[in-house]
A = this chain, B = another copy of it.
Amino acid sequence: MYEKLFDLINQGKFTAARNEIVEMNVVDIAQFLEEIPVEKLLVIFRLLPKEIVADVFSYMPIEDKQHIIEAITDKEIRHIIDELFLDDTVDMVEEMPANVVKKVLKNTTKEERDLINRFLKYPEYSAGSMMTIEYVDLKEDMSVAEALEHIKRTGVDKETINTCYVIDKGRKLQGIVSLRRLILSDSSKRIKDIMNTKIISIPTHLDQEDTAMLFKKYDLTAMPVVDTESRLVGIITIDDVVDIIEQENTEDFHKMAAMEPSDEEYLKSGIFNLAKKRIAWLLVLMISATFTGAIIRNYEDILQSVVILAAFIPRLMDTGGNAGSQSATLVIRGLALDEIKLKDTLKVLSKEFKVSLVVGVALASVNFIMIYFFERTDIRIAFTVCISLFLTVVLAKVVGGTLPIMAKKMNLDPAIMAGPLITTIVDAVALMAFFSLSSWILGI
Chain A residues near B (Cβ < 8 Å): 23-25, 27, 148, 151-152, 155-156, 160-162, 179-180, 183-184, 198, 200, 215-221, 238-239, 241-243, 245-246, 249-250, 252-254, 256-259, 265-267, 271-272, 274-275, 278-279, 281-283, 285-287, 289-290, 292-294, 296-297, 300, 303-304, 307-308, 310-315, 317-319, 321-323, 325-326, 328-334, 337, 339-340, 344, 347-348, 351, 354-355, 358-359, 362-363, 366-367, 370, 375, 393, 419-420, 423-424, 427, 431
**What are some 16 contacts across the A-B interface (CB < 8 A)?**
A24-B198, A25-B218, A156-B184, A221-B221, A246-B337, A252-B253, A266-B351, A278-B355, A283-B363, A285-B322, A293-B311, A293-B312, A296-B311, A307-B307, A325-B419, A419-B419
Residue from the list B238, B286, B310 in contact with A242, Cβ < 8 A: B238
User: In whole angstroms, how far apart are the Cα atoms of A318 and B292 in the complex?
Assistant: 10
User: In whole angstroms, how far apart are the Cα atoms of A162 and B258 in the complex?
Assistant: 43
In the complex the two chains form, is B315's CB within 8 Å of A317's CB? Answer: no
User: In whole angstroms, how far apart are the Cα atoms of A220 and B183 in the complex?
Assistant: 22
In the complex the two chains form, is A323's CB within 8 Å of B358's CB? Answer: no
In the complex the two chains form, is A347's CB within 8 Å of B267's CB? Answer: yes
Q: In the complex, which residues of chain B have a beta carbon less than 8 angstroms from the beta carbon of A303?
A: 303, 307, 310
Using A155-B183, A253-B256, A314-B431 as known contacts, list a sample of 6 further A-B pairs with CB atoms less than 8 Å apart, ordered by residue number in A. Answer: A23-B198, A254-B329, A256-B329, A271-B351, A294-B311, A300-B307
User: In whole angstroms, how far apart are the Cα atoms of A45 and B326 in the complex?
Assistant: 39
Q: In the complex, which residues of chain B have a beta carbon less than 8 angstroms from the beta carbon of A329?
A: 253-254, 256-257, 259
Given contacts A313-B296, A333-B250, contact A354 B286 (CB under 8 A): no
User: In whole angstroms, how far apart are the Cα atoms of A370 and B287 in the complex?
Assistant: 9
Residue of B nearest to A218 (CB): B27
Q: Chain B CB within 10 Å — which of A215, A290, A323 has the most?
A: A290
Q: In the complex, which residues of chain B have a beta carbon less than 8 angstroms from the beta carbon of A272?
A: 358
Residue from the list B160, B238, B351 in contact with A274, Cβ < 8 A: B351
In the complex the two chains form, is A258's CB within 8 Å of B326's CB? Answer: yes
Residue from the list B27, B252, B367 in contact with A286, Cβ < 8 A: B367
In the complex the two chains form, is A271's CB within 8 Å of B358's CB? Answer: yes
Q: In the complex, which residues of chain B have a beta carbon less than 8 angstroms from the beta carbon of A216?
A: 242-243, 246
In the complex the two chains form, is A279's CB within 8 Å of B241's CB? Answer: no
In the complex the two chains form, is A279's CB within 8 Å of B246's CB? Answer: no
User: In whole angstroms, how far apart are the Cα atoms of A128 and B329 in the complex?
Assistant: 31
A72 to nearest B CB, angstroms?
A: 24
Residue from the list B221, B257, B318, B355 in contact with A326, Cβ < 8 A: B257
In the complex the two chains form, is A337's CB within 8 Å of B271's CB? Answer: no
A396 to nearest B CB, angstroms?
A: 10
Given contacts A279-B359, A363-B283, contact A25 B198 (CB under 8 A): yes
Lowest 10 A-B CB distances belong to which pairs? A257-B329, A292-B314, A275-B358, A293-B311, A289-B318, A266-B334, A297-B311, A289-B315, A296-B311, A219-B239
Q: In the complex, which residues of chain B have a beta carbon less than 8 angstroms from the beta carbon of A321?
A: 321, 420, 423
